[in-house]
Amino acid sequence: MVAFDASVLCNAILNEQSLDFELLVAAASAVPFTGFTTDVAGMEFVRNASKGFRTAEGVRAFTRDQIGAFLDTFAPLFELENVAPALVGRRLVENHALHDRPLGEVVAAMTGARKEHLLADLHAQPLVTSGPSVAHFDPFDLHVALAAVHRAGEGHDAARRPSRCERARSESLGP
């Protein structure tokens, strides 16, 4: 299972010859892997495609019909079971103690998951902080990582305590 953020979708709509487009084709056909995205990434993609992207030729914007056709091309990826609700929006966590920390540590703290693979090799993991290198994990994409861990744990870890985000979400939705 591969999680796709809005930048993959944006790059794919701009260039059907791109690796991003090919990844979406493979995931939509479930060969050799399947994919999913979050509701936040989907909304970000639609917003960006509608507003337009700066290219060498100027701004390239897409119509509602063009965006719909693009999404239809990869329909299996956008079925309800493949669009995860984001546990947080596109922002760095409010808990400042989690800023500039390894990705696994931040995800474990926010989800309550205590999986060994999240906490293994913390020194080698990217830090959740803005930056242009692979040593940094974009805090605006944290919602995708959290959704991936949450999705992987569904039905497999009944002892996992709900995170602060999950509790807040369920309290705001009511019974």
Task: Summarize pLDDT for 103-157 with one digit per residue, the tens.
Answer: 888 888 888 776 777 888 888 898 888 777 778 888 888 888 888 887 777 423 3
Task: Summarize pLDDT for 25-54 with one digit per residue, the tens.
Answer: 999 998 888 888 889 899 999 999 999 999
Distances (CA, A) of 94 to 40, 65, 97, 152: 18, 37, 9, 24
Distance CA 109, CA 140 (A): 17
Query: Rounded to two decimals, what is the model's pTM?
Result: 0.73
Phi, psi of 103 (to 5 degrees): -55, -50
DSSP 95-137: -GGGTT-BHHHHHHHHH----HHHHTTGGGSPEES--SSTTEE
Distance CA 175, CA 160 (A): 21
